[in-house]
Amino acid sequence: MFFQKIISLATCLLALSSFALEPFRGERLWGFKDDEGKVVVKEQFLEWRSFVKKLAPVRTEAGWGFIDDKGVIIVEPQALEEPRSLGSRTYFKSKTGVGMVNNVEGSLVFPAIYGSIKKFGDKLFLLKKGDLWYASDAKGNFILSSGFSLVHELNKQFVAFKTDKGWGLIDHSPAIVVQAFAEKIDSPKGEMMRFKQNGLFGFMDLSGQVAVAAEYEDATEFTNSGVAFVKNGQNWDKIDRRGNVLNSSKAGAKEDPADLVARLFKRENKDTKVDIYNSNNNRYNYGYPYPYVYRRAYHRPVPYKSPRYNKYPKTSFGLGTHLYFRDGKIRVGGGPSIGVGWRL
């Protein structure tokens, strides 16, 4: 048994040693030989780098390219810079764009025609060509024949994409989970994703199924305890993840709708004791003479009141405020699902 293990190990080492070709140098240029000393690739390269799995970068006067472990040139020398290897894949850049090879399979995945290549998870790649993005798996199989104008990673599970029909969702498998339909889709909060369709708000669950139909003119995100507040006429209803109304609240004569929603949202956050802060890191003080929810330039899903521009009615719901968690605090401000700073 011991000798069988030794023989097996020796066989494995021999296989590994013969996996890649051996470089040799002529008078000026490099070539490659097999393990028997036979020239497989004649002298033609100015430089070479070690094999990563089945591929090795090589350089001529035209630039960098790749050869496989059989001596076949997989990518003609063209890259302007030395390729960057990340183990199973290597990116390279030429005058025409960015490409990628698969070191494990020893193949070209994406030709150098893309302006950018982004990887999400282990299998999803987003590639930009011109003004459009395309989604592909790790083998170069595209899941959408047409491109989309914007992409945004919502979390470790979903990437949102936008076409002329609206926003949809791709998961990291990769596959289309939700066809493009929404005016916007927010990142998951409280195990739900808020979306907007035809000017109204609804919610999807984490599988991409609509759990609460889009029939509210305004809505907060879900809390971790599983409730959200939606505007129903003059009232704000507290709903669960199935859309069932738990109770309803209405701002009093001296209470601004923004204060009502912020107070209700804070009270329902049962996971931790926190205060509400605005984007300037100031605590939201209900007793302040001019309490307000911090106003930003983007959309807001709950009402706001402006301390500077009194011409806006206090019950204006066009802009609202984004409530989100950070550093153990409920914060107000924020922005839309796709802000300028989050575009790829």
pLDDT of residue 209: 94
> Measured in whole angstroms, how far is the alpha carbon of residue 109 from the centre of its chain?
21
Q: What is the pLDDT of residues 300-324, one digit of tens each?
A: 333 333 444 444 333 333 333 444 4
The pTM score is 0.67
Residue 219 DSSP one-character state: B
Q: Where are the alpha helices (DSSP H) in the chain?
A: 2-17, 257-268
Torsions phi, psi for 265 (to 5 deg): -65, -45
Cα–Cα dist 293/321, whole Å: 7
Cross-sheet strand order for the sheet of 55-60: 47-48, 55-60, 63-68, 73-79
Cα–Cα dist 103/96, whole Å: 22
pLDDT of residue 39: 93
Q: Name the amino acid, one letter, at 21.
A: L
Q: Name the amino acid, one letter, at 285.
A: N
pLDDT of residue 281: 45
| Residues of the chain predicted below pLDDT 70 | 1-19, 253-259, 262, 266, 269-344
Cα–Cα dist 193/187, whole Å: 6
pLDDT of residue 270: 54
Tell me the β-bridge partners of 235: 232
pLDDT of residue 99: 96
pLDDT of residue 258: 65
Q: What is the pLDDT of residues 230-261, one digit of tens each?
A: 888 888 899 999 999 998 888 776 666 666 77
pLDDT of residue 219: 86
pLDDT of residue 151: 87
Domain residue ranges in the chain: 19-114, 115-182, 184-342
pLDDT of residue 249: 83
**Beta-strand pair 245-249/22-25:** unpaired
